Amino acid sequence: MNTHLKENISSKFLKKYKSKPKLVFSPGRINLIGEHTDYNDGFVFPAAIDKSIITAIDISDTNYCSVYAYDKKEEYQFNLDSVEAIPNGGWRNYVLGVISEIQKKGIGLSPFNIVFGGDIPGGAGLSSSAALENGIVFGLNEVFKLDLTKEEMIFISQKAEHNFVGVKCGIMDQYASMFGLKNHFLHLDCRTIEAKPYQIDLKGYELLLINTNVKHKLSDSAYNNRRSVCENVSALLHKKALRDVTEKELHVLKNKISKKDYQKALYVIQEIERTQKAAEAIENGDIKKLGQLIYKSHAGLQHQYKVSCDELDFLVDKAKESNVVIGSRMMGGGFGGCTINLIEKDQIENFSSVIEKAYKEKFNNECSIYQVNISDGTHIIK
Ligand code: GLA
């Protein structure tokens, strides 16, 4: 954990609100494979990371709530009896969304103060939003002794995103952030919300994230749009979700839906299968096979599901050319953010400098390279 960050947040709180807060660590996440499968009741393979949002929280003796975003140096004050989404409200809507979902459960809250801040790069596809939502709900649960289970909390976070932010996200990010386990990836069944933890021996390979540092516009509407395509296709086949559809069953619709929608649904069915094969490959210690599945996942996201972009494709192509990266793909919702790469450990430095130079030449923009550690999920810190 970033102790510097923790100290900054806690001393800011003390200075601003003059009380000693509870501190919540809430991590971002990465995802090995299984992209855009969570809202299709499929499988995903995420892990929580050691980049996080730290939330300092305590009860307030005023009659309003006050939330301070440390990184943006912005403060927002509001009353609990008028919690509504704010048009273009940015971070405020994540906070308000969580409060509103708690209130919808009939749970009464009283005024509180919050300072939050973090080191998860925004727009990188590392789920800083889920980390923030989970940090807020976890903190409120702690301070007001609400007795919410972790599972209830992740659904509150998810609904906050649906109803206040407007992204109809699946459950992967909130789950991984809340239930993360140090040094383990979570093979999560998004229908049953049960996960099998895997401690992966990468055998001389490492994971490396490369951030394009771009986030293309309209990615939220493109996301919601993909989700409704998937739901329409499964409804046409009288199935609950694409999880329940085989390639053969989908084929029946070949001439009844657009080619584009057909490819999207096919991608999801194939990605769910790849995620299952990835678990098998890991169990068999076959890291090369895992890498191949990761490359295939990107091809599907690029050509069939169409959520990639030039910058991401460039990074994946360069990885392929390098011969030292055995798997690379875009990660998260898409249209920017990071690629995740499985790379020979002793080639990280060389490859990083080659890719930084090539990216700069091509896009006249810097990419950022991170190595992350796999961490525990949302919890109280001292
Ligand atoms: C975003 C969403 C997740 C998931 C991914 C794509 O991160 O929040 O629920 O759908 O995109 O896999």
> Angle, nearest 10°, between helix axes 259-283 and 287-299?
170
Strands (E), 159-199: 185-189, 194-198
- CATH architecture of residue range(s) 200-371: 2-Layer Sandwich (3.30)
pLDDT greater than 90 at residue 40 = yes
pLDDT greater than 90 at residue 36 = yes
If residue 10 lies in a helix (H) or strand (E), which one and from where to where?
helix 3-17
pLDDT greater than 80 at residue 168 = yes
Pocket test for ligand 1, best of 32, 33, 38, 264 (most atoms within 8 A of CB): 38
* Average pLDDT score over residue span 3-16: 96
Q: What pLDDT is attached to residue 115?
A: 98
Query: What are the pLDDT digits (tens) for 231-242?
Result: 999 999 999 999
81 is known as an active-site residue: no
Q: Please report, for the chain, the start and end positions of each structural domain, with discontinuous segments joined by +.
A: 3-197+376-380, 200-371
Query: Which atom belonging to ligand 1 lies closest to the Cα atom of 169?
Result: 9
By alpha-carbon position, which residue is closest to atom 1 of ligand 1?
A: 333
Q: How far is the CA of 34 from the centre of ligand 1 (A)?
A: 10
Protein fold of 3-197+376-380: Ribosomal Protein S5; domain 2 (3.30.230)
For 247, the 3-state DSSP assignment is helix
Which pTM was predicted?
A: 0.97
CB 298 within 8 A of CB 271: no
Q: How far is the CA of 229 from the centre of ligand 1 (A)?
A: 15
Q: What pLDDT is attached to residue 219?
A: 79
Query: Which atom belonging to ligand 1 lies closest to the Cα atom of 170?
Result: 9
**Active-site hit among 38, 41, 58, 173:** 173
Q: Tell me the β-bridge partners of 379.
A: 25
By alpha-carbon position, which residue is closest to atom 11 of ligand 1?
A: 333
Q: How far is the CA of 15 from the centre of ligand 1 (A)?
A: 37
Q: What pLDDT is attached to residue 95?
A: 98
pLDDT greater than 80 at residue 1 = no
